[in-house]
Structures are given as structure tokens and as C-alpha cells.
Structure 1
Amino acid sequence: MLRSLSLRLRIFLFFCLLAVGAIALAAVALGFVWTRTDSEWTASELTTVILLFGFLNTGLVLGIWLLFDENVARPIEGLSTSLRLRAHSGIEDSIKAQAAQYLGDLAPAARALSDALAASGDQPPEQTQRLLQDRERLTALLSEIPIATILVNAAGEIALYDAQAGAILSRIAAPRLGAPLSNYFDLTPAIGACARANRRLAEGYVTVPDSNHAETFNLQIKSLGAEGDVIFLDADTRAERDTQSRPLVFDFDLLDQKLEGTITARRLSELNFVVFDTETTGLSVAKDAIVELAAARVLNGRILDGEVFETYVNPGRPIPAASTKIHGVRDADVAQSPRIEEVIPAFHDFAQSAVLVAHNAPFDIGLLRQQEVQTGCSWDHPVVDTVLLSAVVFGISADHSLDALCSRLSIEIPARHRHTAKGDARATAEALIRLLPLLQGKGIETFGQLLNETSKFGRLLRDINSDHVRNAPEMSDSP
């Protein structure tokens, strides 16, 4: 049980034990003397002496503990945090000798280790640089080929789509890596034509409707064996091509990933995160409205630049000047923007089957849940709050504001992007990516373990994951 407590709390309990023990020993000693001598003390006088001693002794022990906490416990936690940042996130967090001056040679030794790690990891190997360059060239080339391409794994989940395929998919629903292809197309004709029982889709040409049965598409299916299928479609000449905003999007780890069991049993690295932020007319969940909503998707430890959500929202009321001063959104910016009744369903589709992530999540999730009756969209997603993640990693006494967290994780938020939904969502996503390895370094591997840890900080921020999330069945991508 004590192992689950922080170092500072364990030290505090140790000093409490010293104080209680000293008072108990003093009481026993005075009682022994009182019963064996012809003392004229009364029982009440003896009790007063014991209480006075207890008060003075507790004050002395508390003072010593404060010195010990300030000069030993806090610096040790600071050293461990710095080493974890370097080891698990590659962040160079300076180890200050002045702050750990009473730890002897521990601080210089930790700094030397950190410097050695930094020196060994400053420059990526030449081979890694070449792979990155080859990846950029491949992305640029495939994005220009006038044939829409989709790669699905053996489970029929999308592992790659290019710019042209993204344009087609977006007409049906938000393009998402890891989403079943059946979310976009009615694959009954392709499955019905399958000649082999162990194949999900039949090779060759087939015409299928979209999942809404609004359009039909000609698909050419090519088998990749046990890894899945590659699917070609005619390029969408009606849609405006924008390869800069929608590049080639892929994650080949999805070809081998097999997700089983409940959400709580999933490893953190296997989860699909949607990190979002809102800007509003004020600070009341019940009374104020969203004026801007933005989100980024995080999969397998990286932000998918091709899968973002961003929009202004017309709140149907004037935006207070005090709010505009903070986030910069004016009435003119939202005048021609969609209302919340249109935005919520689109975002709900974008966040399908994902774990929602926000900084101070009760506020942002509360705003979404306020619209459940009006929009018919239920927000029962699992939720991760980066405030609570910060508390788990850095301790409850640290500053857990977004600015402080980003500073601690060496994340720079340009001033023009701070307090914008897009900028804050991006910063929160980058913070999540750097926090996940730190959590795993502390032995927190699964989503269930993470929920157990964050629930310990309920006095800092309310945990909004409902009981059905903790005991949920396997997450599904089905609409």
C-alpha cells in the first residue's frame, strides 16, 4: 500500500510517526513516574503537561519535516522527473545543482547521466535521416497519382489513404485511420462475390454504394494476402484537391495490430485519441456557448496531420468583449459559420470510437453534453484529462495549467495560437504524446491502470469517466 504513495507523502507519514511515538513515550514515562512517587500532581495536571509536550514536540517535528521536504524530498522528486523526461520523452530538462545542494553527489551524477544521454541522442543517424527524406518523397509522389488508393488490414480497417481517397471518403464521413471500410461503403457486393471463404473481399472490379446509398463507386480490389487489401478508385475530379491540407495518411502498424478485449485492457499505445479544445462566450457550462471547436487525432504516438477538425461556431448571440479579448473570436468571424446543431454531429462522427482528450476536460465535455438532447449525439466516450495526467507524472503540487505543462515538456505554443481552439488542441496533443511514455515508464501500461491512477486525484479535478466506461465491452467502430 505504501508503495502507491508519493515519496513526499511517505516521508511526511514517517515524521508523523516520530511525533506520535515521542508523545506516547513521554506519556508512558510521566505516567510511570506519577504512579511510583508521592507526587502531588493531579490527573488533570499530568494531562496538561502531556498535551503541552505534545504540542511543542509536534511543532518541532513539523519544522524539521518542512526543512527535510524542501531540501531533500522535493529535490529527489525533481531529479526523478528530469531523468524520466530525458529517458522516456527525450526532453532535456536541466537539473539544477542549487535546488539539490543537500543531496551530496546525487545531483551532479544525475546531471552527468542526463548530459550523456543528450550527447548520444542529439543527432539522428544518417540512415534515419534518409528514411525520413524517402518518406516525404513517397508521400508527395503518391499524393499526385490520379488514382485514389486505400489500404485496409485483414480486419478491413483503413491503414492508408491518399489525398484523392481522403476527398472521396470525406464526402461520406470523416476519414479516419483504423476505421472499418464498411463505415464508408456497403461492401455486400464485394463480399458476395468472394470465391474463397477465408477472404473478406473478392479481388477484381466491383461497384458498391456508399454507406448512405447516396452514390456508387467503382472499386478495384487487390489482395495483399494475410496483410489485407489495397483498393483503387477513380480520382474524384469533382472535389477540389488540396494535397497540402490532406496529405498521404498512413500507419503501417495497423496492418499487424489486433485489438481484443475491453477498452480498459487496451495498452495506451493501442488507443485512438481525439484531442480537442473549445473557445466559448464565457466560463459557464450551463449558460455559455461554443464559438470555436478544433481537434487533432493521435494514433500510435503521433499526430495525424491529415485528420483534423476545425470550425467556428455561430452561438446565436453576441460574443462578450471580455471573451473576445481572450480568444480573439469576434461576432464577424462567426456570422457565416454553422450553428452548434450542425457542428456537434460532424464532430461526433470525427470522434467515433476514440478516447476524448482535453485539458480540464469537465468543462469541454460538459459543453458537448449540454447539447445531447438537442443534437441526439451521446458523449459517453472514454475521457482522458491532461490535467490529471500531469498530476500523475509530476505530482499534485506542481502547476498543471496548460502553459506550465507545455513549458515542462518543452512544447512551444506561439503567442498567436494560444487561447485558440486549434492552437490549444495541438499543444494538448503534443503534451499527450510526451506524457504517454512517462506514464509507461511509471508502469502504467493499460487504459484501466491509467483510470485507476487518475481517480486518485479527484480532489484536484473531477473524473468524468462513467462506470460503464470502466466496464465497457470492446470498443466498436460500427456506426
Structure 2
Amino acid sequence: MLHNLSLRLRIFLFFCLLALGGIFVSSAALWFSYKRAADRSLIDAFIFADALIAFGLLGLIAGVWLLFDDNVAKPIERLSSQLRARAHAGVSTDLDLQAARYLGDLAPAAAGLAEQLAENAMTTAEAVAAETAHLAVEKQRLTALLSEIPVAMLLVGPKHQIVLYDAQAAGVLAQIAHPRLNASLFDYLESTGLTDAYKEMCKTGMDVYCTLSSVDGRQTYSARMKPLGDAPGYMLVFEGSVARIPPEDARPLVYDFDLLETPGDEVFEGRSLSELCFVVFDTETTGLLPHKDEIVQIGAVRVVNGKIVKGEQFDTLVDPGIPIPPASTKVHRVNDMMVQGAPDIAGAGRSFHQFARDAVIVAHNAPFDMAFLRRNAEQMGVEWTHPILDTVLLSAVLFGASETHTLDAVCDRLDVTIPETLRHTALGDALATAEALVRMLPMLKARGMMAFGDVIAETRKHGRLLEDLN
């Protein structure tokens, strides 16, 4: 049972036990002394002496505990979190040796080990970087080639989730909804035509030609479904009059082949962190009161398989329907003129809801941002039932509740840089939060939290932090 408690709490309980033991021993000693005394009228003096000793012991042990907590327990907790950040999150900032100065040679030894590992990692990283650069050149060539081919191509997993889409396919999907890696193809195309073609392909093992309709019924596409041989899933090629994307407008080839091996649906709590899709978002608002202020900007990015998906971003201004106070504009630089002609919260909220479909929503101080969305849910015509993860609480789990957990502090600890021009913009803060999340995920796994439910159980222990923030 005790191994589930934090180091600081275990040390506090140790000092509590020491205090109780000291009071018990002193009380027992005074009791036996009183029993041996000839004068029974001294009972009040013995009780008074016992009370003085008890209060004195409590004060002494509380003082020693405070010194021990500040100079030993907190530095150990901070040092361990810094080492995990270097080991699992790629952080290269120096260890705080000054804070751990009372730990003897532990901190310098840890710093020496970290530096040695960093040097070895640097050598390996240089070799990997050279090969990665070569692969990047090959990918650019492939992307340019695919952008010139007048067909749209999707690679789809066995559960009909999108594994890869090229520049042409991104244009086709964008006619229906925002292109999203790992999204269900049923979010874009009517399911009956797809499932019928898939059954025939599985039965015959041959290419299947089919006609598919968009979910809104406005578009019809001629397509060919092609099996992938021994690999699960299939390739879907849209044929016919698909316009060629000019090279200067070509979107990147977006893919993650690990999604081909994604298992079937499970409840979120039982799913591994590596299997989840996260949508990290932030909002800018007219003020700090969710019950009366309004959203003026929403920014979001998607994280799949522990990586930020380049090119899958959501960024929109929102017309709040009320004047934006100058004090708020000074923070996020969004003024009344900029939101003229922007969608209202109903339209922007529906688009963001679609972007975040089937994903875990992540935000820094999530209750604040979610309060705005939930208050306007009826206008949007949606329900915000997504699982929620808060990076404030993740930071408390990994670095201790006594640390500062602002976005700037978390990014500083994880060596995440927020460009000044992007700070306090919805997309800029969402990107910074996503970078922090990506670095925290391996740290959570190193702490033994492999499933989403494990993480939620730990974050609930720090819920008081959000109450204080809000």
C-alpha cells in the first residue's frame, strides 16, 4: 500500500509515527514515574509535564520535518523528475544541483551519468540524423511525384481508419471534412458502399470498382479498392476527374503505417497511451469568465502514436458577437476588426467537434476552455463527451504538486520553446501544449502508467490544483 504513496507523503507519515512514538514513550515514562512517587497529589504536575513534553516534541519534529521536506524530499522528487525528463523526453537542460546541494554526492553523480548518457545519445543521434535527412529527401521526391499524379490515394486500415493520404486525397477529404489521420473513413463516405466493396474485396482477393457517396450526399466518387496482399487493410484510389494539385500548393504526404496494426475498439480507460489519438487545443477569449465571456479563437493540433501530425491543424478566429475588451486584445492580439466575417461559435464549434472526433481532448487547464465549449454546446448542436486530459495535472503527476504548473513553467522544464510571436495565440499555445504532451507520454510510461485509465487515476489525486486555478 505504501508504495503507491509519493515520497514526500511517506516521509511525512514517518515523522508522524516518530512524533506519536515519542509522545507515547514520554507519557509512559511519566506514568511509571508517577506510580513510583510517594505523593499522589503530584498528578497535576505530571500531566502538565507530559503536555509540555508532547507539545515540545510535536514542535521539534514538525520543524525537522519541514527542513527535511525542503532540503531532502523535494530535491529528491525534483531530481528524479528531471532525470526522467532527460531519459524519456529528450530534455537537455542542466540538472538543478543547487536545489539538491544537501543530498551529498547524489546530484553530482546523477549529473555525471546524465552527461555521459547524453554524449552517447548524441553520437547515435548524429548517425540517425544523417539517415533521416536521406529519407526526408526521398520523401520529398515521393510527395512531389504523388502531387503530380491526377488521382487521389488513401491507405486504409482493416477498421476503415485512415493510415495514409496524399495531396490529392487531402483535397477530396477536405470537400467533406478536415483530413485526419486515424479518422474513420465513415466520417467522410457513406458506409454502405464502402462495406459492400470491402466484403467483395475480402471474398475475391481482387480489386473492386465501386461508386461512393459523401456522408452529406453532395458528392459522388468513382473509386477502386485494392487489397494490400499480406498486410491488413486496403488502398482506395479515387479515379476520374480529380484536379492536379499545383506543386506550390502541394500538401505533405501524411501517414503512419503503425495504424495498420491498431487493434479493435476498447473503452478508453483500458487502451494503451500509444494507441490513442489526442487533439490538443487552446482558446483565446474576451475574458476569464466562462459563464459570460466568449471565445474569439480556437487552435488545435492532432497527436497520433505519440507524434504531432504535421499538416493536421485547426485554426480559426471566432466572431464572439460582443466587443472584445482592449485588455484582452493586449494579451492575445485579436481585435474586433479581425473577427469580422469569421464564423460564430456555433459554426466554429461544430467544425472543431468534427476535428476532435474519436479523440482524447487535451488542454492546459482544460476545465476553463471546456466550460466555454459546453456552455455553447446547444448552439453547436453537439455533445462534448470526449475523454479529457489536462497537462496541468500531468505535470503535477510527473514533477510533484509543489512545483509551478503554468504552461511556461512546464515548457521550461521540458525544454519546449514557445516563440514569442505565437505565445497567447490559440494555435501557438496548442502547439506548445502538444509538444509538452509528446514529451510527457514516455515519462508516464516509465512511471508504469501504460493505459489511459492509469493516467486518469493518478491525475485525480491532484484535482485540487485545478480548483485553485479556476
- Measured in 1, the distance between the counterparts of 2:198 and 2:76 equals 63
Whether 1:264 and 2:308 are equivalent positions in the alignment is no
- SS of 1:286 mapped into structure 2: coil
Please, which runs of 5 or more residues in structure 1 have no aligned partner? Answer: 464-479
Partner residue of 1:143?
A: 147
Pairwise mapping of residues 25-36 of structure 1 onto structure 2 (< 5 A)? Answer: 25-36=25-36
Partner residue of 1:94?
A: 94
Q: Classify 1:18/1:342 alpha carbon distance in 2 versus 1 (closer, same or farther; 3 Å).
A: same
Tell whether the 8 Å contact from 2:168 to 2:245 is kept in structure 1 after alignment. Answer: no
1:8 to partner: Cα distance = 1.4
Partner residue of 1:369?
A: 374
Aligned with 1:381 (options 379, 382, 386): 386
Partner residue of 1:18?
A: 18
Partner residue of 1:56?
A: 56
Tell whether the 8 Å contact from 1:168 to 1:236 is kept in structure 2 after alignment. Answer: no
1:245 to partner: Cα distance = 7.6
1:246 to partner: Cα distance = 3.4
Which AA in structure 2 matches 1:309? F
TM-score by length of structure 2 reads 0.93
Q: Classify 1:219/1:355 alpha carbon distance in 2 versus 1 (closer, same or farther; 3 Å).
A: same
Aligned with 2:414 (options 382, 390, 409): 409
Pairwise mapping of residues 218-297 of structure 1 onto structure 2 (< 5 A)? Answer: 218-225=222-229, 226-234=231-239, 246-297=251-302
Which AA in structure 2 matches 1:251? D
CA deviation digits over 1:36-80, x for unaligned, max 9? 212365444433222221111111112222222222222222221
- Measured in 2, the distance between the counterparts of 1:171 and 1:34 equals 91
- Measured in 1, the distance between the counterparts of 2:386 and 2:198 equals 35
- Measured in 2, the distance between the counterparts of 1:241 and 1:263 equals 41
Please, which runs of 5 or more residues in structure 2 have no aligned partner? Answer: none
- Measured in 2, the distance between the counterparts of 1:190 and 1:56 equals 78
1:232 to partner: Cα distance = 1.7
Partner residue of 2:221?
A: 217
Larger relative helix fraction: 2
Partner residue of 1:352?
A: 357
Whether 1:342 and 2:350 are equivalent positions in the alignment is no
Tell whether the 8 Å contact from 2:152 to 2:242 is kept in structure 1 after alignment. Answer: no
- Measured in 1, the distance between the counterparts of 2:165 and 2:273 equals 24
- Measured in 1, the distance between the counterparts of 2:365 and 2:247 equals 34
Partner residue of 2:453?
A: 448
1:196 to partner: Cα distance = 4.6
- Measured in 2, the distance between the counterparts of 1:347 and 1:202 equals 38
Q: Classify 1:113/1:307 alpha carbon distance in 2 versus 1 (closer, same or farther; 3 Å).
A: same
Q: Classify 1:195/1:278 alpha carbon distance in 2 versus 1 (closer, same or farther; 3 Å).
A: closer
Q: Classify 1:235/1:396 alpha carbon distance in 2 versus 1 (closer, same or farther; 3 Å).
A: farther
CA deviation digits over 1:106-138, x for unaligned, max 9? 222211110011101123313344334433433
CA deviation digits over 1:168-188, x for unaligned, max 9? 111112211112223212253
Tell whether the 8 Å contact from 2:290 to 2:371 is kept in structure 1 after alignment. Answer: yes
CA deviation digits over 1:231-265, x for unaligned, max 9? 22248767976866832111110111113431111
- Measured in 2, the distance between the counterparts of 1:52 and 1:229 equals 80
Tell whether the 8 Å contact from 1:201 to 1:221 is kept in structure 2 after alignment. Answer: no
Q: Classify 1:241/1:390 alpha carbon distance in 2 versus 1 (closer, same or farther; 3 Å).
A: farther
Partner residue of 2:177?
A: 173
Aligned with 1:327 (options 332, 347, 369): 332
Q: Classify 1:398/1:113 alpha carbon distance in 2 versus 1 (closer, same or farther; 3 Å).
A: same
Pairwise mapping of residues 185-196 of structure 1 onto structure 2 (< 5 A)? Answer: 185-189=189-193, 191-192=195-196, 196=200
TM-score by length of structure 1 reads 0.91
Quote the sequence identity (%).
49
- Measured in 2, the distance between the counterparts of 1:201 and 1:284 equals 58
1:440 to partner: Cα distance = 0.5
- Measured in 2, the distance between the counterparts of 1:145 and 1:358 equals 39
Tell whether the 8 Å contact from 2:144 to 2:247 is kept in structure 1 after alignment. Answer: no
Tell whether the 8 Å contact from 1:162 to 1:248 is kept in structure 2 after alignment. Answer: yes
- Measured in 2, the distance between the counterparts of 1:193 and 1:439 equals 42
Equivalent residues, number: 463
Partner residue of 1:390?
A: 395
Which AA in structure 2 matches 1:170? A
Partner residue of 2:436?
A: 431
- Measured in 2, the distance between the counterparts of 1:434 and 1:63 equals 37
Which AA in structure 1 matches 2:223? L
Aligned with 2:212 (options 204, 208, 225): 208
- Measured in 2, the distance between the counterparts of 1:328 and 1:235 equals 45
- Measured in 2, the distance between the counterparts of 1:190 and 1:102 equals 66
1:230 to partner: Cα distance = 1.3
Which AA in structure 1 matches 2:357? Q
Tell whether the 8 Å contact from 1:167 to 1:239 is kept in structure 2 after alignment. Answer: no
Tell whether the 8 Å contact from 2:277 to 2:303 is kept in structure 1 after alignment. Answer: yes
Tell whether the 8 Å contact from 1:149 to 1:233 is kept in structure 2 after alignment. Answer: yes
Query: Mean alpha-carbon deviation: is it higher for 29-38 or for 284-293?
Result: 29-38
- Measured in 2, the distance between the counterparts of 1:399 and 1:412 equals 17
Aligned with 2:126 (options 116, 124, 127): 124
Whether 1:4 and 2:9 are equivalent positions in the alignment is no
**Moved >4 Å (runs of 4+):** 193-197, 199-202, 234-245
